[in-house]
Structure 1
Amino acid sequence: MRLARCLAALAATSGLLTAACSAPSNGPAAPSADAFVIGLGSEFDTLSPVMGYAPDGGSLIYEGLMSREADLSLTPAVAAAPPTVSDDGETVTFTLREGLKFHDGTPLTSADVEYTYEAVLDGANASPIRGDFAAIERVDAPDPSTVVFRLRHPYAPLVQRTTLGIVPEGAPLTGDRPVGSGPYRFVSRTPGDKIVLEANRDYRSGPPALDRLVLAFAEDDNVRATRMSAGEFDATILPPRAAARFEGQRGLTVHKVPSADYRGIMFPLDHPVTGDRAVRRALGLAVDRQAMVDTILAGAGTPAFGPVSPDTSWHNPEVTGAPAGDPEAARRLLQDGGWLPGGDGVRVKDGVRAAFTLMYPAGDSLRKELALAVASDAKAVGLDVRLAGLDWDAIEPRMREDALIMGYGSPYDPDYVNYELFHSSYARQGFFNPGGYESREVDELLETGRRSGDPAERRRAYLRFQKIVHDDAVWTHLVFLKHVYVIRGDHQGVRPGVEAHEHALGGLFRDIHTWRPAA
């Protein structure tokens, strides 16, 4: 699984490998003496912000105009202060801090900011995050310390988007030797294995206490648990049940952090079975979300019925359901929709069996367990869900034909993620709207939410949007997760907050440069 697509699965597991099921008899091993090693579940596709690396902050290598605090508030970073906004909302002006330098010693000026954003907007670069900045007509740098965003229309989330890391003017977009102005500088990368970073001794707020970081990649949940137990990692991200074995161990802390990160089923809408809304809605009624939370997540989550977390102010309370499911209602809906019981227990309509394939990434134990639960609940109402655990390269070309356990979600603004997942202009574009959903009303609502400068109008648009995609059963949303971290040692400055799906370095580790060993 790749971080630029859908980052680091926080998964529950039905059982670890034998080696991961027993803690060392003498307690956890000591951390590395010369580096703090973080075990991550996926490798980064790129280290270039222009090409989609950590656009929401927390990259550690780069800083944006603004940075995000644990409580989701924004604070100036490269900028000296929050921006000024014109009365019509179409001109946003930032003033930069004085004396900032990149890791190579060159000054950071407005020309670098202009270059970064213009590179994202340049269609020739094929930036995967270009759509997030579509409201920007151009970026001007009238003097070295001033940056002016000229917008095509008011765009309320613009300042939220300015957490994008700034790169030097003319920097190659490959990100092979990244240069930023953040608290850590790049040392080396071993593809498929690790990235090594060292403290930026000239960082604007002082050098980090952790002098050297190693970001080690281990996709399999069981492997990360084993390596954490063996003392190879100083911190990692684990499934709830896998992390439970570390609770109460001397020298280790388990953090369960709330998030807007959901798991759900993406349906291909051209499929003869999943293209039928009655089937999709019936499956949504059949699944027992509460059992998933209680067993698969070991309580570290909540049932999900839509793409906007109930923990955010944007949530529509009408988008809900029975946490334990309603199989009888599911059976009635299928019957009324013409899906009649077949001889083998699987429903049939016009000669078509109610069968489809549900894919999940093979190394992600949470999605595997969710898929197994879905298949079991589906069977009880006459749906035949066949499971396929595959790697991401095998999954991607099959998304038009087969359903997929996917993960997304953001607490920042409802424009985030939802525009790409549900707007028809993104239909079947890779992992954005892969099922091919198209609705003129949803398109209009998403455009209103993106363009309007009126908070009340935006809220109405997003409440209506949630209701439509729920009623259309575009996805079957299953659970919102709590992200679970295991950290070795006692550190001051660890600040949990509500997290997004893409959390590996934008989550609990986003402030690792402020961590200090406890006295």
Structure 2
Amino acid sequence: MPHKSRLLVPLLAAALVGACTGDPAPPASGDPDGTSMVIAVADEPADVHPLSGYAENGAAKLFDGLVEHQSDRSLRPALAVDLPEPAPDGRSWTVRLRGEVTFADGTPFEAEDVVATYRAVLDPARKSPVRQRFSMLKSVTAVNASTVRFDLTAPYAPFPALLVLGIVSSESVGTPEPVGTGPYRLESWARGERMVLTANTSYWNDPPAVEKVTVEFIPDDDARAARLRDGKLDGAALPPPLAAGFEDVDGLLVAYHSAADVRAVVLPTGNPVTGDPALRVALNHAVNRKNMVDDAVATKARAAHTPMPHVLAEFVDPDATYEFDLTSALDALSAGGWVPGEAGVRTKNGVPASFTLHYPAGDTVSEALARSFAADARAVGVEVTPEPAATAQTGPSVVAFGDPFDPDPELYPLVHSGSALGGYVNDTVDEALDTGRTATDPAQRATAYRKFQRSWVTAPGMVVLVAPNHTYVMRESWEGYQPVVDAAHSDFTWGAWWNLEDWKPR
């Protein structure tokens, strides 16, 4: 059996604080051997089918991809023998598959399973949310029983990173709970409450030492913190202000991860207030990002000005920023026709500069950002009313986005014309994003994305606020934890739990 040996090289400056005196407290599961674990996350998946968007960064626990990410953001083969090989023109990629791998039901893993999985992604009838990530994929073909070829409509430099998609057996690809080759199996799922995973004892790459993982779904930050304080959890993601309360607790570790987490206020184009170009520029100058970093996120963040995550440093234009300048904000409003009105709220053609801003209920960081944004906007005559929302909203909202591996998968569908960002249109942005996704030269891609950012700050589609780090609190009963660069959202497949199958009881 092949032996797993990950290259665990921390990329980020992770602050690890936790007392280590005495024996660690027993796990929340009550298992003294440490072979069981209970963790909590904010987000519950709609289902665990890779074609539904489950574990889009890989590390799916129930499934393996052809490749997998490492802690330094590089790729390594998983179900593939080696990394994908591109054709000279960049329009196809060939992947050789690992042998002697079986699915959890004992059936062999072969090329037909890869073909079935990816053809299902491309099938319009399935309406897979993953399909847009593979818009450049034309077809996938089995060259032979152990080799597949992916043909693209155009060169796409980051294509190998998309191959972390979990592979399901061809027999189960159309079922609600497909079969994978991953280190765990789904034992049970009480929706809205918890999911229980058990070790796949026939896993091709060494069965996990943590044999049972219970994942509780707790959207409310304060509720997760309370469960930790009561000893009912072995680990959870918490916002920095809440996590700080555990730094002196014996037997617990507080870990800070750098993250491709961009928090922003979406301003829909169709709205007469939020769609006004002058008001958008004004609000970008009016927000005090430093105060937001210091107060809303307790300094575990950095100011952000464009949708480009700062962790993708090779693509960041450091000069694409806004000055916090109330004079510039007021000048932009006046030039755009927004005049002083009653109660200090500006108006334009009789329409008051007023709107409701939704933020995710239970998300204390987004709530603090929404309230800080509202106070800054009020200082220049724009009235913003923050309100919690249990579901995603189509109007003005505080959102989180960001891909830790490449700009394209998140930015293209977010801000390209006709995208999800409330109808934002910018021809220069479109041109830069098109070049960024098709160019194969890294320098050309970097130039294109910097051009995108410079164009963005002259005509923004939203107000980007901060890039918070992610914080985890976990019991020091296991060894094997390694920090990674997080994605925007925390679930049980990435973040602190990305290599959970490698953890071992102390």
Same fold (TM > 0.5): yes
- Pick aligned residue for 2:428 from 418, 433, 441: 441
User: 1:423 aligned to 2:423?
Assistant: no
- In the TM superposition, residue 441 of structure 1 has moved relative to its aligned partner by 3.0
Tell me how far apart the structure 2 counterparts of residues 72 and 360 of structure 1 sit (CA, whole Å). 30
> What does 1:311-326 correspond to in 2, within 5 Å?
311-312=311-312, 313-322=314-323, 325-326=324-325
Tell me how far apart the structure 2 counterparts of residues 240 and 173 of structure 1 sit (CA, whole Å). 41
Match of 1:222 in 2: 222
What letter matches 2:372 in structure 1? Answer: A
Helix, strand or coil for the counterpart of 1:245?
helix
Match of 1:506 in 2: 494
Tell me how far apart the structure 2 counterparts of residues 142 and 336 of structure 1 sit (CA, whole Å). 62
Match of 1:45 in 2: 46
Offset from partner CA, 1:207-230 (integer Å, 9 cap, x none): 111110011101111111111111
Match of 1:8 in 2: none
Tell me how far apart the structure 1 counterparts of residues 215 and 174 of structure 2 sit (CA, whole Å). 21
- In the TM superposition, residue 455 of structure 1 has moved relative to its aligned partner by 2.3
User: 1:140 aligned to 2:137?
Assistant: no
Is the CA contact 2:228–2:235 (under 8 Å) kept in the aligned structure 1? yes
Match of 1:204 in 2: 204
> What does 1:20-419 correspond to in 2, within 5 Å?
30-34=27-31, 35-173=36-174, 175=176, 177-312=177-312, 313-322=314-323, 325-392=324-391, 395-396=392-393, 399=394, 402-419=395-412
- In the TM superposition, residue 453 of structure 1 has moved relative to its aligned partner by 2.0
- In the TM superposition, residue 310 of structure 1 has moved relative to its aligned partner by 2.8
Instruction: Specify every segment of 5 or more residues in structure 2 that has no aligned partner in the other structure, as ranges.
Output: 1-23
Helix, strand or coil for the counterpart of 1:389?
strand
Tell me how far apart the structure 2 counterparts of residues 488 and 221 of structure 1 sit (CA, whole Å). 18
Larger mean Cα displacement after TM superposition, 64-73 or 508-517: 508-517
Tell me how far apart the structure 2 counterparts of residues 85 and 311 of structure 1 sit (CA, whole Å). 26
Match of 2:469 in 1: 482
Is the CA contact 1:154–1:453 (under 8 Å) kept in the aligned structure 2? yes
Tell me how far apart the structure 2 counterparts of residues 267 and 77 of structure 1 sit (CA, whole Å). 41
Match of 1:15 in 2: none
Is the CA contact 2:305–2:321 (under 8 Å) kept in the aligned structure 1? yes
Instruction: Specify every segment of 5 or more residues in structure 1 that has no aligned partner in the other structure, as ranges.
Output: 1-26, 427-431
Helix, strand or coil for the counterpart of 2:264?
strand
Helix, strand or coil for the counterpart of 2:446?
helix
- CA, structure 1 residues 178+236, in 2 after alignment: closer, same or farther (shift >3 Å)? farther
**Percent of aligned positions that are identical:** 40
Count of residues paired in the alignment = 477
- In the TM superposition, residue 28 of structure 1 has moved relative to its aligned partner by 7.3
Helix, strand or coil for the counterpart of 2:213?
strand
What letter matches 1:114 in structure 2? Answer: V
Larger mean Cα displacement after TM superposition, 440-449 or 200-209: 440-449
Tell me how far apart the structure 1 counterparts of residues 154 and 63 of structure 2 sit (CA, whole Å). 28
Is the CA contact 1:29–1:231 (under 8 Å) kept in the aligned structure 2? no
Offset from partner CA, 1:406-457 (integer Å, 9 cap, x none): 000112111120010012243xxxxx32x11122332232222222222232
User: 1:470 aligned to 2:457?
Assistant: yes
Match of 1:450 in 2: 437
What letter matches 1:507 in structure 2? Answer: G
Helix, strand or coil for the counterpart of 1:278?
helix
Offset from partner CA, 1:461-486 (integer Å, 9 cap, x none): 21111222232121101110111001
TM-score of the superposition, structure 2-length normalised? 0.91
Match of 2:14 in 1: none
- CA, structure 1 residues 131+465, in 2 after alignment: closer, same or farther (shift >3 Å)? same
Tell me how far apart the structure 2 counterparts of residues 99 and 146 of structure 1 sit (CA, whole Å). 14
- CA, structure 1 residues 306+28, in 2 after alignment: closer, same or farther (shift >3 Å)? farther
- CA, structure 1 residues 230+359, in 2 after alignment: closer, same or farther (shift >3 Å)? same
Tell me how far apart the structure 2 counterparts of residues 482 and 292 of structure 1 sit (CA, whole Å). 13
Tell me how far apart the structure 1 counterparts of residues 228 and 72 of structure 2 sit (CA, whole Å). 28
| Structure 1 runs of 4+ with >3 Å offset | 27-30, 172-175
Is the CA contact 1:153–1:451 (under 8 Å) kept in the aligned structure 2? yes
Offset from partner CA, 1:353-373 (integer Å, 9 cap, x none): 111111111221111111111
Tell me how far apart the structure 2 counterparts of residues 508 and 470 of structure 1 sit (CA, whole Å). 34
Tell me how far apart the structure 2 counterparts of residues 503 and 156 of structure 1 sit (CA, whole Å). 26
Is the CA contact 1:346–1:383 (under 8 Å) kept in the aligned structure 2? yes
Helix, strand or coil for the counterpart of 2:342?
coil
Tell me how far apart the structure 2 counterparts of residues 480 and 510 of structure 1 sit (CA, whole Å). 21
What letter matches 1:405 in structure 2? Answer: V
